[in-house]
Amino acid sequence: MSVPFDSPSVAAPVRTSDAQERLYAMVWRWHFFAALFVVPFALLLAATGGVYLFKPQIEEWLYAGLYNVPHASGSVDADAQLGAALAKFPGFKTVAYTPPPGDTRSALVRLQEAEGKQITVAIDPRSGTVLGVIDEQHRAMQIVRDLHGKLLFGKAGQAIQELAASWAMVLLITGLYMWWPRRGSALRGTVVPRLATQGRTFWRDLHAVTGFWVSALLVFLVATGLPWSLVSGKVLNEIAGHVGKGNPEIGVGWDGGGSTVVKSNPPGQGWAVDHAQHLAGAGHSHAAAGAAPLALARVVEIARTLPGIAPGFEIRFPVDAQGVFSVVTDSETDPEATAYVHLDQYTGAVVSDVRWPDFGPLSKAIALGVSLHEGRYFGLPNQLLGLAACVGLVALVTAGIVMWWRRRPAGSLGAPPAPKDFRVGPGILALAILLGLIMPLMAASLVLVLGIDWGANRWLRKAVAT
């Protein structure tokens, strides 16, 4: 939403031709209608995204009693810790185990019941005592994440959010076009708000100037959020998997066996781990006659000897007799430290080993982008930068709503009129095609909207003629 170009509170932009004036009017119209759809979702994305940025600090506070243990002598081995968790929750099967990453941290055992529900059990490694349990489905930050990305409606909500994010890109592009100064390079009202003003000029400056300062961040956030989207995500992930070393020849899906079954994935698994798991493929163990799987304590020992595996790694369990143990690093903070290593469950031999150098160039760009998007790449400054974008988005939207409400005629939507005899130029057409290739849902919705608009205008012309 933006102030109309003929507003008395803002100097009218200079135009060199009727064609330029019609283009401005059409951009304004698309900016307005895109805003009508995007605004509610933009506010939700800003609120949930701003909270999720601080997931590490929030979860450390929420689960302090589960993650932390007092420093004490003595310990029980990993198998005893696992046994304590299974004794507490009979009927569950083991999905993963995270050894204590430090002397005062707990061990975490992820279990799953037959219906698919997963829980994380915290164990005191000194005594083997169960400290408590986290229901993964109702983990607070997982709910925030699902609301942010799926509206808590699964794939339908994910598609709606993708559509909103795609049109947000259109909103940003059209807004920047309208912001572009047409009376020279005056700073006030362009890159610096005129704070002494009141009324429409104040809100116009708050909308336009804020939009200028946060637009690059918002474009980046939209672009780096696409890998998680329903349609664009599939396109980007397929391309990423085939650039560089590409996908494994065995063509692994999420149900391909070994530790690649979706049940082994924790909620909110990072994109880098997701991609590394795909590249690692469905490793298979080969059992000799009468061979038994390795004890968990032995797997932990082997994992600690693997080069480049830092404390905090997770060991995922085989799903069947041919499955593998998988050693997985927590790479949300540092994608370059990503590791996904399959171990034969009987011998401990390395079956598959995927690291950051195995990622293709596009995969690396996406992984880094996702880490920046979630505020994890360079710590607190990254989080604060993301928060600034969220606050700026709220200010931008609020100012736009106020402007629209003040200028709209009573009882009317106040939509900008469509310019007569407007023709799309090659530049706009090329941009629309490019955005459509990256964001197919937006392209489909654009075709639908244009079709409805064309049909409505044709019907109105016939109605007037008769």
Distance CA 350, CA 270 (A): 23
Q: How far is CA 284 from CA 206, 298, 299, 324, in A?
A: 59, 19, 16, 6
The token duo for 353 is 């080993």
Is 214 in contact with 399 (CB distance < 8 Å)?
no
pLDDT in tens, the chain (466 residues): 443 333 333 334 444 567 778 888 888 888 998 999 999 999 999 999 999 999 999 999 999 999 999 887 778 999 999 999 999 999 999 999 999 999 999 999 999 998 888 999 999 999 999 999 999 889 999 999 999 999 999 999 999 999 999 999 999 999 888 888 765 556 666 777 776 677 777 888 888 888 889 999 999 999 999 888 889 888 887 777 666 554 444 333 333 334 444 334 555 567 888 888 888 877 788 877 778 999 999 999 999 999 999 899 999 998 888 889 999 997 667 899 999 999 999 999 999 999 999 988 888 998 999 999 999 999 999 999 999 999 999 999 999 999 888 888 877 787 788 787 777 778 888 888 888 888 999 889 888 877 876 776 678 667 767 6
DSSP secondary structure code for residue 125 in this structure: T
The pLDDT value given to residue 247: 46
The pLDDT value given to residue 230: 87
Q: What is the pTM of this model?
A: 0.84
The pLDDT value given to residue 267: 54
Distance CA 404, CA 36 (A): 10
The token duo for 421 is 């005899």
289 burial via Cβ count (<10 Å: 0-12, 13-18, 19+): exposed
